């Protein structure tokens, strides 16, 4: 029983991080119909910048939480700048081009960011300094650290804030209008260039937060970490129904739970034939099943007809 | 600026038979002499790169059937290459002690990859565009993860270490791994592989050209342009789409088998998502759906990273007097920039087909 609870807790923590990253994919897809393949690398840049700043300040005598907040701020600024630039340079000129062209530039951007990170931070793993106060709590026979509690709570609050932004503010209404029909939105006086830029900036800020969370949770960051994280988060976004905010959150949490429960129990289920290193297969297999039986994702409304 | 001259050049070839024959002969001589020119001027490492360029051309042409003709975005194409390569590795290596002949394994690899193609295609028939892309991506990753982990409890793929000591390709009792004496000329191993790969690449080019203008090829294009209209015209979209997956996959399987024999070593690392992405870039960058464009894309994207690899260190040495930046990172950085720049200035690819070029102009205007 306690293993089950433990896996649920791990899944929730992992899932909240996936959900934050998935929101970045889903927002961009909803507005432009484009897979922003480079989003995972933005998360990586966020993690790297945060770790660098936190390492610099680690001996300054400031309280740990303040240092982490400064690190988060620096990461958010860096990621927003990167996200803004990516959209301007690699996507905006291709808005009317064949659909595969921006996909290729996205891959190009992702290769560039990865290698810039390798030039700046090297090939080594960077460890997260132990500056946060940690305490362990017992719930139903499983342990949860204060950091994990904080990750889940902050992720939930951020997502609630994003929902408010999209559904209650003027900017949010403009975003929804653009995603519905850019041409008509423009006729109604929406500056769609500005809205698209802002969407990238907001998504990148979420990516910075997710990057900080990943590196704090696993105490490690690496120039190559963005790739698999981005892949998983994109899977989560599709699982929920890409283009749908609530779907991205649901997909993220579900994928986190599926992965940790799958990894925990796959050995028992198959009599030891398949081990926990099949964790990734599990995630992709579930994804394929969902798409085959419900091609629009769990909460997506329309069936995709875009080529 | 040279856009109008190119079609005129090809029209001249079409109208004038003797010019066409002369051009074919000239091209044949260049292709036949290429390994000797490169071998004597640039050395063996570039010969290997040339051999790989031919393998990538086969892969790109196979993927072009799926993505370029039928319009089905496939991000897991490398899985079929892996199936072909691992089949060769298992049936012709000390790993299981089997040493079956090439002429049996390569067709078997093509067939098995084709079956995998149908296995992937069947459940995804309803999906289009980005959804299909993510499912195929997942499929590719699943195949790679299985290759990585199927060493326990029964050792089938030997896990991350891969399979080594694979038999070289042997044709009619002659192994290609050693220099061959042919009519008094000694043909080194890399040259022999080049001619074999060239022959198969030409065969694949021929098949693709014949397919493009066949009933099936036109059905693929019809599905790409409008699936519902194609169905209304009496095209059996289900079977035609499955056929695209199977044909594309079988080309990948052939290339994979050749790769295993050539390299004498396979490991799951060679079949990462990045490789799928690379082949897709070849197709899109070259000019989707246009056979000469795809070949150009295959050659360019094989050569560019290698040119950057050889250039990144020495050029820095010459300019700054020392190597400032990690050449490996720098070469991929330049490669990524090249992808972005080419797509920004030629969004329809370097050498798009005339129809696509016309469509795209109309679209942009």
Lowest mean pLDDT among A285-294, B105-114, B211-220, B326-335: A285-294
CB contact under 8 A, B333 and A111: yes
Distances (CA, A) of A122 to A48, A119, A125, A128, B24: 11, 6, 8, 16, 50
pLDDT band at A177 (very low <50, low <70, confident <90, very high): very high
Point out the least confidently predicted range of A91-100, B16-25, B172-181: B172-181
Q: What is the largest CA-CA distance in chain B?
A: 68
pLDDT at B84 over 50: yes
pLDDT band at A172 (very low <50, low <70, confident <90, very high): very high
- Residues B205-229 have a mean pLDDT of 91
Distance CA B279, CA B268 (A): 17
Q: Which residue from A94, A108, A242 is facing B337, i.e. has the nearest CB?
A: A108
Reported confidence tier of residue A268, pLDDT bands at 50, 70, 90: confident
Complex-level ipTM:
0.84
Q: What is the pLDDT of residues A195-205, one digit of tens each?
A: 999 999 999 99
Identify the weakest region by mean pLDDT among B24-33, B53-62, B81-90. B24-33
> Which pairs count as long-range contacts for B232-238, CB under 8 Å and 24+ apart, including other chains?
B238/B125
Gap between the Cα atoms of B302 and B54, Å rounded: 9
- Asked if A235 lies within 8 A of B138 by C-beta distance, the reply is yes
Gap from B325 CA to chain A (nearest CA, Å): 7
What value does the mean pLDDT take over residues A209-238?
Answer: 89
Q: Across residues B319-342, what is the average pLDDT? A: 81
Q: B-chain residues within 8 Å CB-CB of A108?
A: 336-340, 343
The pLDDT > 90 percentage for chain A reads: 49
> Are B241 and B231 in contact, with CB atoms under 8 Å apart?
no
Report phi then psi at A130, rounded to 5.
-80, 75
pLDDT of residue A267 exceeding 80: no
Residue A90 has pLDDT above 80, yes or no: yes
| Preferred mutation among A32, A38, A108 to probe B, highest tally of B CBs within 10 A | A108
Half-sphere exposure of A133 (CA within 13 A, CB side): 6
Once rounded to an integer, what is the mean pLDDT over residues A176-185?
Answer: 90
How far apart CA B296 and CA A253 sit, in angstroms, is 44
Taking residue A275's Cβ as centre, other Cβ atoms within 10 Å add up to 14
Which of A274-283, B271-280, B355-364 is predicted with the least confidence, judged by mean pLDDT? B355-364
Residue B3 has pLDDT above 60, yes or no: no
Q: Which of A101, A109, A306 sits opposite B336 (nearest CB)?
A: A109
Q: Over the stretch B97-119, which tens digit does the pLDDT of each residue have?
A: 888 888 899 999 999 999 999 99
Please provide the average confidence, as pLDDT, over all residues in chain B.
Answer: 85
Which residue(s) pair with A136 in the sheet? A145
CA diameter of chain A: 62
Helical spans, DSSP H, in chain B:
5-15, 17-41, 44-63, 78-91, 102-121, 129-149, 189-212, 215-225, 227-232, 237-263, 273-287, 291-320, 327-345, 354-364
Q: Could you tell me the pLDDT band of residue A304, with boundaries at 50, 70 and 90?
A: very low
> What mean pLDDT is predicted for residues B35-45?
82
In chain A, % of residues over pLDDT 70: 94
Compute the nearest-CA separation of A28 from chain B (Å). 13
| B336 contacts in chain A (CB < 8 Å) | 107-112, 115
Cβ proximity of B110 and B252 under 8 Å: no
CB neighbours of residue A176 within 10 Å: 15
Question: Which has the higher per-residue pLDDT, B13 or A95?
Answer: A95
pLDDT number for residue B233: 92
Does B333 contact chain A (CB < 8 Å)?
yes
Q: How far is CA A145 from CA A154, A216, A293, in A?
A: 14, 12, 38
A138 DSSP β-pair partners: A143
Give yes or no for A61 touching B (CB within 8 A).
Answer: no
Residue B12 has pLDDT above 70, yes or no: no
Inter-helix orientation angle B237-263/B215-225, to 10° = 110
Q: Which of residues 243-282 of A touch B (CB under 8 A)?
A: 272-275, 277-278, 280-281
pLDDT at B4 over 50: no
Determine the average pLDDT of the residues in A228-232.
Answer: 86
pLDDT classification of B172: cutoffs 50, 70, 90: confident
Per-residue pLDDT at A235: 84
Q: What is the C-alpha separation between B317 and B323, in angstroms, rounded? A: 5
Query: Who contacts B157 (Cβ-Cβ below 8 Å, separation ≥6)?
Result: B86, B90, B146, B147, B148, B150, B151, B163, B268
Does the pLDDT value for residue B365 go beyond 50? no
Residue-level pLDDT at B82: 96
Taking each helix axis from N to C end, the angle separating B273-287 and A100-121, rounded to the nearest 10 degrees, works out to 130
Q: Would you list the domain boundaries of chain A?
A: 13-224
- Let me know: does B179 contact B187? Beta carbons within 8 Å: yes
Q: How confident is the model at residue B358 (pLDDT cuts 50, 70, 90)?
A: low
B95 pLDDT higher than 90: no
pLDDT the model gives residue B355: 66
Under DSSP, the state recorded for A304 is P
Q: Does A242 touch chain B (CB under 8 A)?
A: yes
Percent of chain B past pLDDT 90, that is, above it, reads 38
Residue B339 predicted with pLDDT over 90: no
Chain segment A103-127, per-residue pLDDT in tens = 888 888 998 999 999 999 988 899 8
- Least confident residue range of A107-111, A142-146, B176-180, B187-191: B176-180
Note whether A85 contacts B: Cβ–Cβ < 8 A: no
Mean pLDDT check: name the lowest of A15-19, A217-221, B153-157: B153-157
DSSP string, B148-192: HHTTSSS-SS-GGG-EE-PPPPEETTEETTS-EEETTEEE-HHHH
pLDDT greater than 70 at residue A166 = yes
Do residues B168 and B176 make contact, with C-beta atoms less than 8 angstroms apart? yes
Q: For position B180, what pLDDT does the model report?
A: 77
Whether residue A223 contacts residue A118, with contact meaning beta carbons closer than 8 Å, is answered with: yes
Topology of the domain covering B25-282 = ABC transporter involved in vitamin B12 uptake, BtuC (1.10.3470)
Cβ–Cβ under 8 Å, residues A38 and A113: yes
CA dihedral B265, B268, B273, B278 (to 10 degrees): 0
Preceding peptide of B242 cis, ω within 30°? no
Is residue B36 scored above 90 in pLDDT? no
CA distance A204 to chain B (A): 20
**Is pLDDT at A303 greater than 60 in this prediction?**
no
Between chains, do A287 and B340 touch, taking CB under 8 Å as contact? Answer: no
Q: What are phi and psi of B182, to 5 degrees?
A: -130, 110
- DSSP notation for B203-245: HHHHHHHHHHTSHHHHHHHHHHH-HHHHHHTT--HHHHHHHHH
Q: pLDDT band at B219, cuts 50/70/90? A: very high
The DSSP element (H or E) to which A280 belongs, if any, is helix A279-293
Residue A287 confidence (pLDDT) above 80: no
CB pair distance less than 8 Å for A304 and B127: yes
Residue A235 sits at the chain B interface (C-beta within 8 Å): yes
Residue contact A275–B149, C-beta within 8 A = yes
User: In which region does residue B72 sit, left (phi positive, over 0), alpha (psi from -120 to 50) or beta (all else)?
Assistant: beta
Residues B21-53: b if buried by 16+ CB within 10 A, e if exposed: eeeeeeeeeeeeeebeebbeeeeeebbbbbbbb
CB count within 10 Å of CB B6 equals 12
Distance, in Å, from the CA atom of B358 to the CA atom of B309, rounded to the nearest integer, reads: 37
- Considering only CB atoms, B285 lies closest to which of A104, A280, A287, namely A104
- Residue A153: its H or E element: helix A146-168
Question: How far does the CA of residue B263 sit from the closest CA of chain A (Å)?
Answer: 26
First-to-last CA distance in chain B?
A: 19
**Chain A residues with CB-CB distance to B325 below 8 A:** 119
At residue A79, the pLDDT reads 97
Over the stretch A36-53, which tens digit does the pLDDT of each residue have? 889 999 999 999 999 999
Check residue A305 and give its pLDDT: 42
**In this complex, do A96 and B335 lie within 8 Å of one another by their Cβ atoms?**
no
Residue by residue, DSSP assigns A116-147 as: HHHHHH-SS-EEPPS-S---EEEETTEEEEHH
pLDDT confidence tier of residue A276, bands split at 50, 70 and 90: low
- Residue among A29, A21, A25 at smallest CA distance from A214: A21
């Amino acid at each position: 029983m306690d293993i089950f609870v433990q896996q649920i807790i791990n899944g929730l923590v992992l899932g909240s991080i996936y959900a934050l990253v998935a929101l970045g994919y889903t927002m961009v897809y909803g507005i432009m119909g484009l897979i922003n393949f480079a989003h995972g690398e933005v998360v990586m840049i966020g993690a790297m910048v945060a770790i660098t700043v936190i390492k610099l300040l680690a001996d300054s005598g400031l309280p740990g939480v303040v240092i982490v907040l400064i690190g988060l701020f620096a990461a958010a600024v860096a990621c927003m700048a990167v996200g803004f630039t990516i959209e301007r340079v690699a996507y905006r000129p291709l808005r009317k081009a064949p659909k595969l062209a921006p996909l290729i530039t996205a891959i190009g951007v992702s290769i560039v960011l990865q290698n810039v990170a390798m030039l700046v931070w090297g090939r080594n793993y960077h460890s997260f300094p132990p500056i946060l106060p940690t305490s362990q709590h017992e719930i139903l026979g499983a342990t949860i650290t204060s950091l994990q509690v904080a990750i889940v709570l902050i992720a939930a609050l951020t997502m609630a804030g994003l929902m408010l932004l999209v559904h209650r503010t003027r900017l949010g209404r403009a975003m929804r209008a653009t995603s519905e029909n850019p041409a008509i939105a423009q006729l109604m006086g929406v500056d769609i260039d500005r809205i698209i830029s802002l969407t990238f900036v907001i998504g990148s800020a979420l990516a910075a937060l997710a990057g900080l969370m990943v590196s704090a949770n696993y105490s490690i960051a690496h120039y190559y970490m963005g790739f698999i994280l981005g892949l998983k988060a994109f899977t989560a976004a599709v699982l929920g129904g890409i283009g749908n905010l609530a779907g991205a959150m649901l997909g993220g949490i579900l994928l986190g739970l599926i992965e940790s429960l799958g990894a925990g129990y796959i050995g028992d289920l198959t009599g030891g034939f398949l081990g926990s290193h099949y964790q990734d297969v599990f995630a992709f297999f579930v994804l394929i099943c969902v798409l085959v039986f419900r091609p629009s994702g769990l909460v997506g409304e329309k069936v995709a007809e875009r080529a | 600026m040279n856009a109008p001259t190119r079609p005129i050049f090809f029209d001249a070839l079409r109208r004038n038979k003797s010019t066409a024959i002369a051009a074919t002969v000239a091209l044949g001589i260049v292709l036949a002499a290429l390994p000797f020119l490169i071998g004597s001027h640039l050395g063996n490492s570039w010969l290997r790169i040339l051999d790989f360029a031919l393998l990538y051309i086969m892969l790109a042409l196979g993927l072009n059937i799926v993505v370029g003709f039928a319009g089905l975005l496939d991000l897991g194409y490398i899985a079929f290459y892996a199936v072909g390569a691992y089949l060769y590795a298992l049936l012709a290596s000390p790993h299981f002690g089997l040493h079956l002949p090439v002429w049996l394994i390569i067709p078997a690899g093509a067939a098995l990859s084709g079956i995998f193609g149908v296995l992937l295609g069947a459940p995804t028939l309803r999906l289009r565009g980005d959804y299909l892309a993510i499912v195929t991506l997942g499929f590719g990753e699943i195949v790679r993860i299985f290759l990585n982990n199927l060493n326990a409890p029964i050792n089938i793929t030997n896990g991350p270490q891969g399979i080594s000591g694979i038999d070289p390709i042997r044709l009619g009792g002659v192994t290609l791994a050693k220099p061959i004496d042919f009519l008094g000329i000694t043909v080194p191993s890399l040259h022999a592989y080049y001619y074999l790969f060239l022959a198969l690449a030409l065969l694949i080019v021929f098949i693709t050209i014949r397919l493009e203008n066949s009933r099936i090829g036109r059905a693929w294009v019809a599905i790409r342009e409008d699936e519902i209209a194609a169905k209304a015209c009496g095209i059996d979209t289900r079977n035609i789409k499955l056929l695209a997956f199977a044909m594309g996959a079988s080309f990948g399987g052939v290339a994979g088998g050749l790769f295993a024999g050539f390299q004498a070593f396979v490991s799951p690392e060679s079949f990462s998502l990045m490789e799928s992405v690379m082949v897709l870039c070849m197709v899109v960058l070259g000019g989707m759906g246009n056979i000469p464009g795809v070949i150009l894309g295959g050659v360019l994207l094989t050569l560019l990273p290698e040119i950057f690899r050889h250039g990144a260190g020495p050029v820095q040495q010459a300019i700054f007097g020392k190597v400032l930046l990690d050449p490996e990172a720098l070469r991929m950085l330049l490669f990524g920039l090249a992808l972005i720049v080419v797509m920004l200035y030629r969004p329809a690819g370097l050498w798009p087909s005339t129809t696509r070029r016309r469509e795209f102009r109309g679209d942009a205007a």
